[in-house]
Structure 1
Amino acid sequence: MIFDRKQQRLLLEGKEYTSDDIARFVAEGAENYPSAIWDLYLFLNEWFNDSSVITVHTSGSTGTPKELVARKDQMMQSARLTCEFLNLQAGDTALLCMNLRYIGAMMVVVRSLVAGLNLIVRPASGHPLSDISEPLKFAAMVPLQVYNTLHTPEEKEQLKQTEILIIGGGAVDEALEAEIKSLPIAVYSTYGMTETLSHIALRRLNGNSASGHYYPFPSVELSLSPENTLIIKAPLVCDDILQTNDIARIYPDDSFTILGRKDNVINSGGIKIQAEEIEKVLRPYIPMPFVITSVPDPRLGQAVTLLIEGQLDMEELKNKVQEILPPYDCPKYIRMVDFIPQTGNGKINRVECRTLAEKLL
C-alpha cells in the first residue's frame, strides 16, 4: 500500500494519472468534464496539495450539518483497515457512486489511492449500476441505492457480479436485509461516522458468516457510558475518544449491536420509547417511507407521532398499529405528508421531521 501522497496515482478506468495530471485537468475547467469526474478531480486536487488536512461535511441527519477537519494520514489508515479486512488488492475495480461532499465517498477514493484500486466513477444517483457492464470487485452504496438496485432486474444481475458490497450512511432495515441474504456476493453493513473517517466496524449481512452483530477493527476499543451510549476509542483514525449518541449493547467477544439513538428517545408520560424500535415493528406494514417522531404534549411531555409519505387507508392503519404495538408505543398522531425530510446523502433528517410534525399539529 502507498501512504506517501506524492507517490500515489489515480487509476481511473484503467488509465493512470499523477497529481500533476489532476492539477492540469482542474486548470482546464469544469466545462470539459462530466460533473462526477469533475468532483473527483476537485477532491484529488485538494488531496494532493501541501496541506495535511481536508474539510469534511457531516450529513446533518440528527442536527445541524457541520464542517470537520480530517487528517489525511488518518484517512489513509482508515483506508488500510478496510482494504486489509476485505483483502482488496492493486488493480481491483472499485465503484465510486456517492456524493464526494461526504466521508463515505471520499474514503472510496482514498482506498483506491492507497491500495491501487481501479476506480469506476458514476454520478451519485438512485441507480448506480444502470450503465455498468463490467464485473466489480468492490462497491460502496447507501441503503436507498441498494434497494433500487435490487428492484431493477438488470441492475440486480449486475450487482450479482460485484464481489464485495458495503452499505453505509444509514440503517439497513429488516426487509432489505432479507433481500440481501439471497445474493451470491459478500455484503456488509458498516458502522461509523464522519468523525471516525468512515466505518470502524462491519457486520456481514449474508452467507455463512452473517451476523446480527457489528465487529470492530482490531485497533478499536469500545465501552458504554452510564446511559448505555457507545464510546469509541480508535486512535488510528481519531485523536479524541468519541462519545456517541448511539445506544448500544456490547458482547463478550467485543461485538456490538445498536438499539437506536439517544436523540430519538421519546419520553412519553414518563416511559422512554426508542423511535427506531417502533419503526422496525411497523416497517412490514407500511409500504412507503415513514418516520416515528414526536411533538410536545402538555400531558405526556412528548407524544409519539407517525409521519407517512403518501396516502394509506387511515382507519385500516390505525387498527393495524393498535394490533401490533403496545399501547404506550402507539402513535397519538398519524399524518400523511408529501415527503419525509432527508439530508443530502439520503438519511432521514430527524430534526426537520420533528419540526414538520409540530407545524402539522
Structure 2
Amino acid sequence: MGKIYFENSIYTFEHIRQGLWKERDLYFHQALTFAQQWLLGQESFEIGTSGSTGKPKNIQIQRAHMKASALATKEYFRIEYSSKILCCLNTWMIAGKMMIVRGLEWDAEIYLIKPVANPLQEAWLPLDLAFAAMVPMQVQACLDQENSLNKLKQIENLIIGGAPSSGALIEELKANQINAFQTFGMTETVSHIALANISEEALLYKTLPGVEIGTDEQSRLWLKGPMTGFRTIQSNDIVDILNPGQFHWLGRADFVINSGGVKVYPEIVEDKIQGIVFEHFGSTNYFISALPDAKLGQKVILIVEGESPNVSFEGLTESMKRVVNRYHLPKEVIFLPKFVYTASGKIKRTETIKLLK
C-alpha cells in the first residue's frame, strides 16, 4: 500500500481515502483533498492554467485522461510500482496534480514538499528517489547548493517543465551527469506528451507511448493520444517534425517575428545569447521581442529586466554576432525595472511589452 509523506507525518492511501488526517496548511490540505477525491473515484477535476500565453482559466480534465498520462509516463521511464517519488509543485496546477496521480496509480511512496525554490534542502527526504518533477528555477537552486546537488544527482529520473531550460542550465546538468528530461505539454494535454533527454546534443523531443503528432499549414504542432481521449489538440507551438515520434521545438507562433521577410524565433535566439547577456548585464531575466518598423515591418529588440548599465551597444552586438545570424540581431536594447509574471514564475511577454507604451 502506497503512502504520502509530509514533514514528520505518514499517511497510507487508506488513511487518505477515509479522510484520516489532521488539518495543516493550505498546500497540505489541497494535495490530500485531491488525493482523496482520486481514491474515491471522482471522474473529472477542475484544473487551473498558467496564463503564460493568455488569461488564466480553469478547465475540466477527465480522470481517464489523467490515468492514461500516468501510465504512459510509467512505461516511458519503466518506473516500478512502490517506487519513491517527489512532488514539490503546486498541486492546484496540472503538473502538481499529475505527480499525485502518478504516485497513486503507481502505488508509490509520495514525498510531498511545498513548492519552494530548493525542495531538496529538507533533511527528511530519502536519497533513492525514482522520479521527480521540478521547474527550472528549482533545479538551478538545487544545483547551487552542495547538499542539494548531491541529492539531485541521485534522482533516477528528473523531468523539468513549466518553462524551457536555459542553455546554461542544460550545460550544468550535463556537467553533473544528472539524468534529466525537458518536458513538452500543456494543461489541455494533461501534463507532458513528449520528453527531451538533456544529455543529448540538441533537445530532441520523443513522444510518449500512444501519442500521434503532425503540423498544420503554419508548422504548428497538433497531437492526440490516450491522454486527450484521442481528440486532436491544436497547439500554437512551431515545431520541426523529424519522424512520427520525434520533433524539435522552435518556439511559440504567438512570438514569431517577421523582420524584413526573415522569420525570427525568439526562444532560439534567447538561448544562444544567454551567456552574452549575463556577461554584459549580469544574471537577469530578458527576452527577445519586436517593435513596428517602417522599413522592416518588425525590428528585433532585446528587453532586459533591471536598470540600464553603462554598456556599449556596439560591443554587445559584436559579441552576439559570434552566435546569432545577423538578421536575428537585436536592433535595440530596452530596460524595464520589472517584468510581469504568472503565478508559476513565467514571464508574461505580451503584458510586459505593454509596459513599453
Deviations 1:39-60 (A, max 9, x none): 2123224434564110111111
Q: Is the 8 A contact 1:246 1:262 kept in 2?
A: yes
CA deviation vs aligned residue, 1:13-70 (integer Å, no higher than 9, x gap): 3641327655354xx6xxx313432221232244345641101111111111122110
1:308 and 2:301 are equivalent in the alignment:
no
Deviation at 1:154, TM superposition (A): 1.8
Q: Which residues in structure 2 correspond to 1:162-241 (within 5 Å)?
A: 162-206=155-199, 212-241=203-232
Query: Which segments of 5 or more consecutive residues in structure 1 lack a partner in the other structure?
Result: 1-8
CA distance in 2, matches of 1:253, 1:236: 18
> How many residue pairs align between the two structures?
343
What are the Cα deviations for residues 47-98 of structure 1, in whole angstroms up to 9, with x where unaligned? 3456411011111111111221100111011001101211222221111111
The alignment partner of 1:315 has SS state of: coil
Does the Cα contact within 8 Å between 2:17 and 2:36 map onto a contact in 1? no
**TM-score scaled by structure 1?**
0.87
Is 1:134 equivalent to 2:126 in the alignment? yes
Equivalent residues of 1:322, 1:330 under 8 A apart: no
Report the TM-score, using the length of structure 2 for normalisation. 0.88
Residue 145 of structure 1: aligned partner: 138
Match 1:289 to one of 285, 289, 296: 285
What secondary structure does 1:129 align onto?
helix
Q: Secondary structure at the match of 1:284?
A: helix
Structure 1 position 23 matched with structure 2 position 19: yes
Note if 1:350 corresponds to 2:346: no
Q: Is the 8 A contact 1:35 1:123 kept in 2?
A: no
1:272 aligns with 2:271: no
1:42 partner letter: T
Runs of 4+ displaced beyond 6 Å: none
Contact kept in structure 1, 2:222 and 2:234, CA below 8 Å: yes
The CA distance in 2 between the partners of 1:322 and 1:185, in whole Å, is: 34
**In the aligned structure 1, how far is the partner of 2:337 from the partner of 2:42?**
44
* Mapped partners of 1:297, 1:19: distance in 2: 63
CA distance in 1 between counterparts of 2:272 and 2:16 reads: 54
| Aligned residue type for 1:161 | Q
Which residue number in structure 2 is paired with residue 6 of structure 1?
A: none
Equivalent position amino acid for 1:302 in 2: Q
Which residue does the alignment assign to 1:5? none
Q: Is the 8 A contact 2:303 2:334 kept in 1?
A: yes
The question of 1:106 aligning with 2:93 is answered no
Q: In the alignment, which residue of structure 2 is the partner of 1:69?
A: 60
Query: 1:77, 1:336 → 2: CA distance?
Result: 45
The CA deviation at 1:126 is 1.1
Q: CA 1:148–1:342 in 2, change beyond 3 Å: closer, same or farther? A: same
Residues 314/321 of structure 1: CA separation in 2 closer, same or farther (3 Å cut): farther
Q: Residues 279, 210 of structure 1: CA spacing in aligned structure 2 closer, same or farther, 3 A cutoff?
A: closer
2:228 aligns to what SS in structure 1? coil
Q: Give the aligned residue type for 1:16.
A: T
Paired residue for 1:95?
86
Quote how far apart the aligned CAs of 1:184 are. 3.9
Matched, 1:42 2:33: yes
